[in-house]
Amino acid sequence: MTVVDAARPGSRKGRRPWRRPQNDGWRELVTPEGVDLRLKIGAFSERCGAFIIDLFIMLAVLVAISLVLALVSWRTQWSFTGDVATILWLLGFFLLRNFYFIGFELRAGAATPGKRALGLRVAARDGGRLTANAVFARNALRELEIFLPASFLFARGLGVDAGLIALGAIWSGVFLLFPLFNQDRLRLGDLAAGTMVVKAPRRVLRPDLAGPAVGAAIGPTFTEAQLDAYGIKELHALEEVLRRADRRTVAQVADRIRKKIAWDGPLDLSDKAFLSAYYAALRARLETGLLFGRRKADKFDRPPTG
């Protein structure tokens, strides 16, 4: 079992793509070079958050434009500038409402400021280029998804009118909540344009936890039996604990590992130093196993022999 898994470079954590549950938010994207980039679909909550940020930015810009124009036409007191101001305001509002999203998504980053803040971007669903037509289509349908329900929200009526407005709100609400009912969290606009919104966060590369500094500074050594107590899954959990560096968690985890592997080395070693050393040693052992085609997925897996 383990050998088969290790032979597949694409399968991280020993999981095979076809065994992956369908609705886990990951999508395959195989580049022309044949590497699967494994994209994460942007969650509905994140997309709402991004939209709200964008909405606030648009509102702020609109208020700023209005203030500046009002100020200018008030200062100059010409009837001529008043006209120009009105035209600029109308055009500004129109451009903002319709081309804020289109303009930003056509740029190299393919994301509005809100999307960028949440690490999202727009991508073509087939992995190809994101065309201008697609960006236009996905944003033209925003009209239907956001502004139609909003107009029902602000509509007022009595009797039959009220009933009709309520029905209209429900009907248009379907479009608003559409992303919740499909796996790729597609809006109607995404559906019509052949796009999807994926996570593409900028990550900084943090230092390696098993760098030479760790290995050289402390000298505790572990026996093979002690290192065989855990597998890759636990290694990754340990990495997260060390990265987060929460004192209480580190102490608890160190305690548990000491007990499990029957640690009899120096007791004056701090929890953090102990865990770092154990992490480095465990990773060295598991990676050596990988190079020989043995992948120990977790602590229940057969220990790598040799």
Interacting residues with another protein between 148 and 187 (CB under 8 A): 148, 171, 175
How far apart are alpha carbons 95 and 89 in whole angstroms?
10
- Helices in 106-194 by DSSP H: which ranges? 113-117, 132-140, 142, 148-153, 160-176, 188-193
Cβ(220)–Cβ(267) below 8 Å: no
Out of 25, 49, 173, 194, the only residue in the binding site for another protein (CB under 8 A) is 194
Out of 41, 210, 275, 297, the only residue in the binding site for another protein (CB under 8 A) is 210
Least distance to another protein from the beta carbon of 23, Å? 17
Residues 6+ apart with CB under 8 A from 275: 238, 241, 242, 250, 253, 254, 257
Closest CA to 176 of 202, 153, 194, 154: 153
Q: For residues 59 and 91, which CB has a smaller minimum distance to another protein in the complex?
A: 91
CA angle 144, 66, 99 (to 5 degrees): 35
Q: For residues 165 and 210, which CB has a smaller minimum distance to another protein in the complex?
A: 210
Cβ(299)–Cβ(230) below 8 Å: yes
Cβ(27)–Cβ(39) below 8 Å: yes
Buried b (16+ CB within 10 A) or exposed e, 101-123: bbebbbeeebbbebbbebbbbbb
Cα 275 to chain centroid, rounded:
29
Q: For residues 135 and 254, which CB has a smaller minimum distance to another protein in the complex?
A: 135
Binding of another protein at residue 306 (CB under 8 A)?
no
Least distance to another protein from the beta carbon of 228, Å? 13
Residues 219-278 that bind another protein (CB under 8 A): 221-222, 227, 232, 235-236, 239-240, 243
Binding of another protein at residue 87 (CB under 8 A)?
yes
Least distance to another protein from the beta carbon of 63, Å? 18
Q: For residues 66 and 131, which CB has a smaller minimum distance to another protein in the complex?
A: 131
Out of 23, 86, 183, 270, the only residue in the binding site for another protein (CB under 8 A) is 86
Residues 9-68 that bind another protein (CB under 8 A): 9-10, 12, 29, 31-33, 35, 37-39
Least distance to another protein from the beta carbon of 295, Å? 10
Out of 94, 150, 252, 292, the only residue in the binding site for another protein (CB under 8 A) is 94
Buried b (16+ CB within 10 A) or exposed e, 156-171: eeeeeeeeebeeebee
Cβ(283)–Cβ(210) below 8 Å: yes
Q: For residues 47 and 283, which CB has a smaller minimum distance to another protein in the complex?
A: 283
Tell me which stretch binds another protein (CB under 8 A): 16-24, 49-57, 82-90, 259-267.
82-90
Residues 105-134 that bind another protein (CB under 8 A): 106-110, 121, 123, 125, 128-134
